[in-house]
Structure formats: C-alpha cells, structure tokens
A and B are shown apart, each in its own frame.
Chain A
Amino acid sequence: MSEKLRGADIFVRALIDEGVEILFGYPGGAVLHIYDALYAQDKIKHILVRHEQGATHAADGYARATGKPGVVLVTSGPGATNAVTGIATAFMDSIPLVVFTGQVPTHLIGNDAFQEVDCIGITRPCVKHNFLVERVEDLALTIKKAFYVATSGRPGPVVVDIPKDVTANVAEYHYPTSVDIRSYKPTTKGHPGQIKKAAQLILSAEKPMLYTGGGVVIDNAAAELTQFGRLLGYPVTNTLMGLGGYPATDPQFIGMLGMHGTYEANMAMHHCDVLVAIGARFDDRVTGDLAQFCPYAKIVHIDIDPSSISKNVRVDVPIVGGVANVLGELNKLIKESGREPANRETNPWWRQIREWQKLECLAFDRSSKLIKPQAVVESLYKITGGDAYITSDVGQHQMWAAQYYKFDQPRRWINSGGLGTMGFGLPAAMGVQLAFPNERVVCITGEASFVMCVQELSTCLQYDLPLKIVSLNNRYMGMVRQWQEFFYERRYSHSYMDALPDFVKLAEAFGHVGMRVENPSDVEGALHEAFALKSRLVLMDFITDQSENVYPMIAAGKGQHEMHLAPSASDRELA
C-alpha cells in the first residue's frame, strides 16, 4: 500500500528517489508549497541563487562536470523566463538539465493571471522535451520521464511546468524504477555493417584525421577515444566542446580546430583523405565555408543523433550510435587487423603536419610591457598543473582559455560553445565547485561577460565557494572589437566598456578578495597568492593589452585553409 502525499511532498520525495543531491533555485509564489516541503527535509541541498539564469547555468556547470543531470526549481512567469537563457545554453550543448517551473493554478491558466507565462510555449524550441503536469496523480511519473529523457540518447534540458494546485493536491506516491516511452527509443548501438565499413576506410587512409567533439565528453568516451587514437597513431583535433576528450598533451593532439583553431589542425582538416568525425556536429564555426570543407576527404561520422548526420556535410559512412559503444567496437576491429600505429617520425602525413606546426601559430609577444592575456592562461595552466576545472564566459578570453590551457581530462573545460552565452562562467563555476568542493575551480572571464551574472558573487559567499576568477580585463568587448577591427574598418561601435566598476572593491563589497594586476611580472605571483587563499573566492582583475586579438582566425564563410595569422606568425609563413 503506497502512501498518500501532497504534490509538494511528492515532488521532494521523487527528487530524493531519483538521487538528486543539489537543487538550484529561487522561490516565488507558484512554488511556495514546494519550498515549504523542502524546508522540512535535509536530503536535498538547495542552493539559493540570485537570479534564475544563474540557477540554470549553475546546474549546467554541475551537469557538465559530473555527468549527472542538473536540477533547477524556479517560480512561474519571470522565474521561468529568466531561466530560458540557461535552458537554451544547455540545449545547444546537449547538457542534461531538469528544470521545474512553477505555474499558476490550473483554473487560472490562460487567464493572464499574476506571474503567468506560457512556459511550455516559450521553452518549446529550446528544450529536448517539456511537460505540463495537469494532475497530481501524474506528477511522480512525469518527473521520472523528465529525468529519463534529459539523460538518455542525446541529452538535453527538459522542463516540467507544475501548476500550484498540483503541489497542494494529494495523491498516492509511487516512484517507478524505470520508464518506457513508446515514442522515444534512442539508438545506442551502432550498426555492425557500418562499423566494419568504417574500420576498412579508416585503416586505408593515407592522410587521416580524427575530429572529435562534445559527444565524446558527454558519452564518457574519452578512454575509448584515447585508445582509438593510439591504436591508429593518427592526428587528433578537438572541437571547442570536445577539449579534454583526447589528452591535449599527447603528441598526436594537434590542437583545436575551427574559427580559432590551430594552423596545423585546420590545414590537416583541409588536406586529409579520410575524416573521422566522432560526436561532433559540423558546426559552422568548425567548417567555415561548406563548399570548401575537407575537399579531398571520405567522411565517417559517428553520432547518437541521426539528425546530426548529413545535416551540414554529406558523409560517406554514417554510424548512428553512442560514441563509447561504437569506438569500443572499432577498437576491437583495429586490434584484430594487427595494424601498427602510424609512425610519427617516418609517416609522410605526419611529416607534413610537423611542417605546419613549425609555424607556431599560437606564439605571442612575450616581451610586451603589457599583460598578454595568453600569458595569463599559460601561467594558470602551469600553476594548476593542468589539473583545475576551468569554466569560461564568451569571447576572446574563452578562445585563449581553449587555446592555451591544455586539457588532459574530459569534463574539465566548461563553456557555452553552441549558444555562446555571456554570463555563463561564474554560475557554472559555482555548480562545479558544489559538485567538487575540494577541487580547484577557476572561471576565466572578461570584464564584459563577468558583470552579466555578477550578482552570483553573493551566492558564492553564502555557500563558501572558493572560486578563483581570472578576469582578462581589456576594457572592451574584445571579440566584438576584434571583428570591428577586421571587418568594420576599426569603427568600434559600442564595444567599449566605459565606466567600469572598481573590480577589487566590487569583490570586497560581496565579501570576497579582489586583486588588480597590471604588470606582466606580477601575473604568476598573483595567481600563487590567490590559490594560497584556499577558502576564499578571489577575483583577479588582470589589466591586459587592449589591442590583442585571437589568432589564428578564419573569417566567417571562409575556407578552413584561409586563416588570418598573428602578425608575428605571418612573418614565419613559409608557403
């Protein structure tokens, strides 16, 4: 005989039974019954954010770092709409979130009631799925379905909209251990025939290239990918979302690809004869001009989402399935073939790649009297031994973080790749720190992005989150300024951050430690000092060279091989 519970208590019990440990939220009228039920328990830790966008980003950071779904609770109306940016961010990067939104009571829906918004309608285009719970009897099963849909197949955010009366009404509580949805059956195993075909093509390559994305990280397939790469001895490039999927310090890793990828990665993409795309989706920031993309390559594409295959680029051997699963099968076939890995010393393709590497496309001016943003990231990498969790906001600092911090492990690099959401970094770092209280969590940001969710510094104080915030402050929206320099004849229209706050005082006002760093010689010392303050949040305001640009750069719509190089690297260009 199951027990009868109020909807609000069913909600809390279901979350506990689902194994939820942390709930990111902000109360309001429509969810007061639920907040009352939360008050009476101590199994779920509720984190009170300062804005609902922060709740969704924090849950997202938690999910990216742990692989577990991030869980959010917000109220109806503005609570729900504030959460939308975070939901869309998670959607674009396939991050499992379950977002519970309060709703006005069922009899008021459609009545333009106070704090009413059509949450299902508003979130529909940026969720994997959403549910409106109309009866308390459906609540537990709907919660189960929401977690199942969010975390299976290609993961994504799921919204559950709960009217207030549903949380007050009473029903029998039963939480199912599993759920079956007839209209939702994700494929996880690849087709054996296709896998065989792929193996043959891969083994026949003379100029192979492994191009891997966020799917490797999401499917926990880094070990399989690393084995795959090493069995073959082929060059590997990662997308922005895929960093850490293959160890960055491995000699086969030739850097990130795409708009701000390395010269060698983009050149190798352009010239390869067999391209193996693994958990990557041929995003426009990766491919550049589709007509010029990988013109000589036969393409194998492994992805769990059939709609990602042949969406932008026609592929020769599509394999629908989980990346870990398919790579496991491929690894077996490669081992059976008895093939030796490509020899990096003697192989002509590797010799060509080494020529491209000689360009040193990521070199920068180390004698400058100004702080070079790249140098800050490099120092951070050195001081943390590559062993920190790095979140970032969006813009130049994000690209420098991706280029100069070498990620050897998955789930360490946490950024908004698809949607490109400024304001993501700080709340995401909170989510990571809450998941791993004893790890070093760093938010690399810029002064423009940082203030977009700056209110969360207050949350960090409340929960003693000792984040280290590295702000590369160039007094510009740097990436906007860079595009204006390149493509708008230096008309810096509204990209200048006038009237910035004193960031040291700002940090102090929120109860944290602030540092301002202006000389290149002080960078390492400041970082050491900040990390020594183990229990404190430290905001480091690095005053960097305003004119620095992110190189290499492929202008939007150009071919992969048409890169703008840093002025110093252009001098070295041999070809």
Chain B
Amino acid sequence: MRHTISILLENAAGALSRVAGLFSARAYNIESLSVAPTEDPTVSRLTLVTRGSAEVIEQITKQLNKLVDVIRLIDLNEGSAIERELMLIKVRAIGGEQREEITRLAGIYGARIVDVTESSFIIELTGDSTKLDAFIEIIGAKRILEVVRSGVLGILRGTKALRA
C-alpha cells in the first residue's frame, strides 16, 4: 500500500543522505521525496511516498525514528491528510487549433499557463498525484517536451500539527 510519511529532520549536512541511505540499505523504495526548511530554519520537513505491507511500513517508520537526525515523523495515512504536488509541464503548441485545445484543457484542470512562445507553453498545475497523472495522460506524450514534478507534500487536516 502507498504511504506518505512526513518527517521533521535536523537541517544539517548529511541528514538527507541518512534518510535516503536507510531506504537503499534496507531495500525500501521511495516513490517521491521532497524536502525544504520549515519556518524554523534549523528544521527541515521531508515528505516521502513509499509502498509496502503494513509490516514494512512499520519497520520503515521505526527505522526512520531511530536516525539521530530525525526529530519527529508521522504517517499521513493514519489520519485524514491533504496532499499536493506541483508540476511544470512544457508542451509543444503550434497552430491555433492545438493552442486553443491545450488552453481549454488547462482551464478544465485549473492549471495556469505561465510561459508562452510561438511554439510552446509551460503549464503550472497543482493537485494530488492522480490529477497530475491524468493531465499528463490527456496532454499526450507526443506533445510533451518536458515534465518536472515536485514530489508530494502532505499535511494533516484539522488542528493536529507535526512540530519539532
């Protein structure tokens, strides 16, 4: 099963490599990973998406907790959470008909066109991963020049917060 784990990590040199190294050393997989400092510059928040049975996920969270640089973590699957991913997608857009269709699709998905040239658009889209996948699908591989995704971010609904 797919799990999204949010981790508060010391914002120290090498801390990220400890997390990544743990996953490779124990043969766990990482589907996506995003990391940036929080409002407290000494703390980074890392969100990773992984897959595994309940036993494997339990081991992953225990092993992560064991890392000295990990301050706190939460498995977002244990509560109701909001997940978002940002995507920038560069597409070939030549001719009025094609440009109109892409603009229309972007509108349907609530995406924004943030760069326009004579032959291309860059479209910005946020949403959960399935929405981004669907947009890529509908645009079609033939038209796509480049895709960049941020990896998943997640936060629990309600007042419960993950804090250092």
Contact = CB atoms under 8 A, between A and B. Distances in A.
15 contacts: A120-B14, A121-B17, A124-B17, A124-B18, A124-B21, A182-B164, A183-B70, A183-B71, A183-B72, A184-B68, A306-B62, A306-B65, A307-B62, A307-B66, A309-B62
A40 to B, nearest CB: 32
Interface of A: 120-121, 124-125, 128-130, 132, 134, 149, 181-184, 305-307, 309-311, 314
Contacts of B10: 183
Contact of A307 (B21, B63, B70): B63
B59 A125 contact: no
A182 B58 CA distance: 22
Given A132-B14, A307-B63, A125 B68 contact: no
B13 A132 contact: yes
A18 B38 CA distance: 35
Given A132-B14, A182-B164, A183-B69, A125 B62 contact: no
B55 interface: yes
B58 to A, nearest CB: 7
Given A120-B14, A128-B68, A183-B71, 18 more contacts: A124-B14, A124-B17, A124-B21, A129-B68, A132-B13, A134-B13, A149-B68, A181-B68, A183-B10, A183-B68, A183-B69, A183-B72, A184-B68, A305-B66, A306-B65, A307-B63, A309-B62, A310-B55
Nearest to B60: A307
Interface of B: 10, 13-14, 17-18, 21, 25, 55, 58-59, 62-63, 65-66, 68-72, 164
A430 B66 CA distance: 32
Contacts of B68: 128-129, 149, 181, 183-184
Contacts of B164: 182
A258 to B, nearest CB: 22
B21 A125 contact: yes
Contacts, number: 40
A45 B63 CA distance: 37
Contacts of B72: 183
A548 to B, nearest CB: 37
A149 B71 CA distance: 15
Nearest to A124: B21
A182 B72 CA distance: 10
Which secondary structure dominates where chain B touches chain A?
helix
Contacts of A181: 68
A557 B138 CA distance: 50
B21 A311 contact: no
B59 A182 contact: no
Contacts of A125: 21, 25
Given A129-B68, A181-B68, A183-B70, A311 B59 contact: yes
A307 B14 contact: no
B123 to A, nearest CB: 38
B52 to A, nearest CB: 13
A308 to B, nearest CB: 9
B39 to A, nearest CB: 16
B148 to A, nearest CB: 27
Contacts of A311: 59
Contacts of B65: 306-307
Contacts of A120: 14
- Please list the 6 inter-chain residue pairs (A to B) with the smallest Cβ-Cβ separation, ordered nearest first: A307-B62, A129-B68, A183-B71, A184-B68, A125-B25, A306-B62
A225 B116 CA distance: 74
A129 B18 CA distance: 9
Contacts of B69: 129, 183
Contacts of A314: 55
A130 B58 CA distance: 25
A124 B13 CA distance: 13
Nearest to B71: A183
Nearest to B9: A183
A464 to B, nearest CB: 39
A121 B59 CA distance: 23
A149 B69 CA distance: 12
Contacts of A305: 66
Contacts of A132: 13-14
Nearest to B22: A125
A306 B67 CA distance: 12
A306 B73 CA distance: 15
A545 to B, nearest CB: 41
Q: Which of B14, B68, B164 is most buried by chain A, counting CB atoms within 10 A of its CB? A: B68
A435 to B, nearest CB: 28
Contacts of A310: 55, 58
Given A120-B14, A125-B21, A182 B63 contact: no
Contacts of A128: 68
Contacts of B14: 120, 124, 130, 132
B75 to A, nearest CB: 14
A280 B88 CA distance: 50
A394 B25 CA distance: 25
Nearest to A129: B68
A307 B59 contact: yes
A10 B62 CA distance: 36
A132 B164 CA distance: 23
Contacts of B66: 305-307
Nearest to A126: B25
A183 B63 CA distance: 14
A194 to B, nearest CB: 16
Contacts of A134: 13
Contacts of B17: 121, 124
B19 to A, nearest CB: 11
B35 to A, nearest CB: 16
A42 B105 CA distance: 78
Nearest to A314: B55
Nearest to B18: A124
A305 B59 CA distance: 12
A182 to B, nearest CB: 6
A149 B66 CA distance: 12
Contacts of B71: 182-183
Nearest to A186: B66
A184 B14 CA distance: 16
A429 B8 CA distance: 43
Contacts of B21: 124-125
A527 B147 CA distance: 74
A149 B63 CA distance: 16
